[in-house]
């Protein structure tokens, strides 16, 4: 029976996965090694494995086969799989409660470290379902984007000004309007944190942990007439930034490889002017986005968290050396842990020439989005 084969494959993937690479990349590699699997089989196996990690969280579940079965109950792709296996696994009422009933303390790693400002019930429940896919339209192209979505008969929800939500996985990056730069694929929390950006005409800004450029694009959309420096420790990901800025015809920028967690790194900017604003979307636990990467619930540790906190402090210590007095540092994480957020802000305020202006969580877990933290500090 095909259900038996899929169960064995799911057990195999779970047994060998060690989080050395993201789960979606691990599965891609697995499929390359098992070319006999069709599209439907690949989608089902992915759903079984992802949902297993959603159900499991940090807990130790003795019967992996039962856990995979229970985790597949809400998956539309797995209806026949669930019907087959629910009659075969041997479970009691107490067993079922063990799998389906849990508390934050035994489900989410370092639960006590989650900020008191995070709505924990909404946050935890978000990990039991797939997150939505969000796009941010450029206002002048909004109608063109809507027209193309209707042409392709994609189901969508208007979630705010220029914000569109999808609950299904469509090939959005293949749309003509995407290729032309009419919209960006960006979670709603990442869109909303840009409320902290207030660039002015002719400003010189630095996106110091730029990644693929999502925050840079939000900054430019607020004020096109700026100069921009974008840096990241990963040269390969800056190629994505270059491609995205080229798509919107923004040329008034420079991108450089720079690891600000290294003590001497700031010397590379000795010949650069001071900046009118800095965006520091720092490397972090990513705990505000684990509904998209539920494998982290099973592998995250306090040691990893502490390493991130130290790295964040080194980055900010270096970055603010290039910030003008009276100018803003925008500190951003996609973490729900206070250690990386409010506690770090207190550390910055006490140890660096920075004055807190505002800080808040951008939590959209109830709506199917991520949870981000953002703070605006002014250099004294």
Biggest distance spanned by C-alpha atoms of the chain: 70
Q: How far apart are CA 225 and CA 252, in angstroms?
A: 8
User: What's the pTM value of the predicted model, to 2 decimals?
Assistant: 0.95
Question: Which domains does the chain possess?
Answer: 2-102 (no CATH), 133-185 (3.30.70.1170), 188-379 (3.40.50.150)
Phi, psi angles (nearest 5°) of residue 362 = -105, 85
Token code pair at residue 8: 């064995």
Quick one: pLDDT band at residue 97, thresholds 50, 70, 90?
low
Beta partners for residue 160, in sequence order: 163
> In which band, very low, low, confident or very high, does the pLDDT at 94 lie, cut at 50, 70 and 90?
low
Q: Which residues contact 51 (CB under 8 A, 6 or more apart)?
A: 68, 71, 72, 74, 75, 78
Cβ neighbours around 51 below 10 Å, total: 25
pLDDT at position 336 over 80: yes
Q: Is the separation of the CB atoms in 305 and 339 below 8 Å?
A: yes
256 close to 233: Cβ distance less than 8 angstroms:
no
Q: Strand pairing partners for 376?
A: 330, 358
Q: pLDDT, tens digit, for every residue of 289-333?
A: 999 999 999 999 999 999 999 999 999 999 999 999 999 999 999
- Ordered strands of the 157-160 beta sheet: 157-160, 163-166, 133-137, 183-185
Read off the pLDDT of residues 116-173 as tens digits, 9 standing for 90 and up.
Answer: 999 999 999 999 988 999 999 999 999 999 999 999 999 999 999 999 999 999 999 9
Between CA 148 and CA 181 the distance in angstroms is: 13
**pLDDT: is 60 or 254 the higher one?**
254
Alpha-carbon span 373 to 29, nearest angstrom: 33
Q: What per-residue confidence (pLDDT) applies to 152?
A: 97
pLDDT for 283 equals 98
Residue 92: the pLDDT is 62
pLDDT band, very low/low/confident/very high, at 39 (cuts 50, 70, 90): very high
Quick one: pLDDT band at residue 180, thresholds 50, 70, 90?
very high
pLDDT of residue 90: 73
Tens of pLDDT, residue by residue over 224-272, are 999 999 999 999 999 999 999 999 999 999 999 999 999 889 999 999 9
Residue 32 pLDDT more than 90? yes
Min mean pLDDT across 27-31, 87-91, 303-307 is at 87-91
Residue 77 structure tokens: 């792709």
For residues 330-352, average pLDDT: 98
Q: What was the pLDDT predicted at 109? A: 97
């Amino acid at each position: 029976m095909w259900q038996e084969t899929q169960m064995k494959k799911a057990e195999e993937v779970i047994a060998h996965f060690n989080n050395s690479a993201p789960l979606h990349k691990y599965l891609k590699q697995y499929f390359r090694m098992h070319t006999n699997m069709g599209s439907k089989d690949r989608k089902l196996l992915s759903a079984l494995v992802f949902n297993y990690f959603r159900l499991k969280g940090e807990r130790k579940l003795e019967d992996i086969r039962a856990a995979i079965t229970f985790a597949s109950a809400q998956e539309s792709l797995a209806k026949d799989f669930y019907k087959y296996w629910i009659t075969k696994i041997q479970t009691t009422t107490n067993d079922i409660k063990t799998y389906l009933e849990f508390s934050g303390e035994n489900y989410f790693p370092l639960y006590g470290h989650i900020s008191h400002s995070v709505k924990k019930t909404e946050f935890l429940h978000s990990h039991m379902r797939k997150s939505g896919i969000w796009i941010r339209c450029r206002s002048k192209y909004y109608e063109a984007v809507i027209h193309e979505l209707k042409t392709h008969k994609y189901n969508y929800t208007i979630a705010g000004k220029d914000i569109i939500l999808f609950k299904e996985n469509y090939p959005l990056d293949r749309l003509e309007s995407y290729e032309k730069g009419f919209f960006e694929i960006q979670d709603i929390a990442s869109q909303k944190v840009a409320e902290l950006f207030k660039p002015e005409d002719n400003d010189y800004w630095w996106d110091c942990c730029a990644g693929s450029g999502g925050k840079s694009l939000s900054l430019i959309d607020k004020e096109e007439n700026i100069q921009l420096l974008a840096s990241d420790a990963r040269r390969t990901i800056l190629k994505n930034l270059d491609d995205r800025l080229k798509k919107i015809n923004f040329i008034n920028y420079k991108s450089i490889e720079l690891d600000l967690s290294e003590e001497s790194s700031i010397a590379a900017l000795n010949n650069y002017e001071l900046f009118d604003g800095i965006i520091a979307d720092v490397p972090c636990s990513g705990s505000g986005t684990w509904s998209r990467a539920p494998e982290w619930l099973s592998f995250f540790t306090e040691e990893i968290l502490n390493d991130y906190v130290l790295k964040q402090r080194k980055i900010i210590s270096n970055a603010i050396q290039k910030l003008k007095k009276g100018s803003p540092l925008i500190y951003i994480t996609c973490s729900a842990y206070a250690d990386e957020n409010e506690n770090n802000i207190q550390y910055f305020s006490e140890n660096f020439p920075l004055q807190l202006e505002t800080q808040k969580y951008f939590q959209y877990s109830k709506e199917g989005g991520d949870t981000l933290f953002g703070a605006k500090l002014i250099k004294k």
